[in-house]
Amino acid sequence: MSYNINATEYEADEQGFLLEPLYDDEAVRVIAQAENIPLNDAHWEVVNYLRNQYREHGHTPSFRNMLKGMTEIRPEIDSKYLYDLFPVGPAKQGVKVAGLPQPLGKGGY
């Protein structure tokens, strides 16, 4: 599987996660469209959080840590809010849409 982003093919695994991180905002748009997610500012807030976590730690957080981190940014955020944005699962689908490689697994950090 691959995505065509800015006239370049980027390889993805069988589940649609990019093999290497891509921080181009067009990647977010292309992958979100493939996931049938209409992007809004709330999606971008989560995408930017996940990208920052990946840059800082080399991987993305588990859902529990993601929820904790997002509530530090905006205290009103809860799990329902995140699942409304990424219905397949915020810690997986959110990461995919952010243009990041597949998360490490349940443990995360």
pLDDT tier, 105 (very low <50, low <70, confident <90, very high otherwise): low
5-58 confidence digits (pLDDT tens): 999 999 999 999 999 999 999 999 999 999 999 999 999 999 999 999 999 999
Tell me, what's the pLDDT at 109? Answer: 43
Side chain identity, residue 26: E
Tell me, what's the pLDDT at 94? Answer: 97
Structure tokens at 1: 């599987």
- In angstroms, what CA-CA distances link 92 with 8, 13, 32, 85, 99? 24, 13, 13, 12, 11
Tell me, what's the pLDDT at 7? Answer: 96
Average pLDDT across the chain, whole number: 94
Structure tokens at 4: 């065509």
Please give the model's pTM, rounded to 2 decimal places: 0.92
Tell me, what's the pLDDT at 106? Answer: 54
Q: Is beta strand 2-5 parallel, antiparallel or unpaired with respect to 8-11?
A: antiparallel
What's the CATH number of domain 2-97, 2.30.30.90, 1.10.10.370, 3.40.1160.10, 3.40.50.300? 1.10.10.370
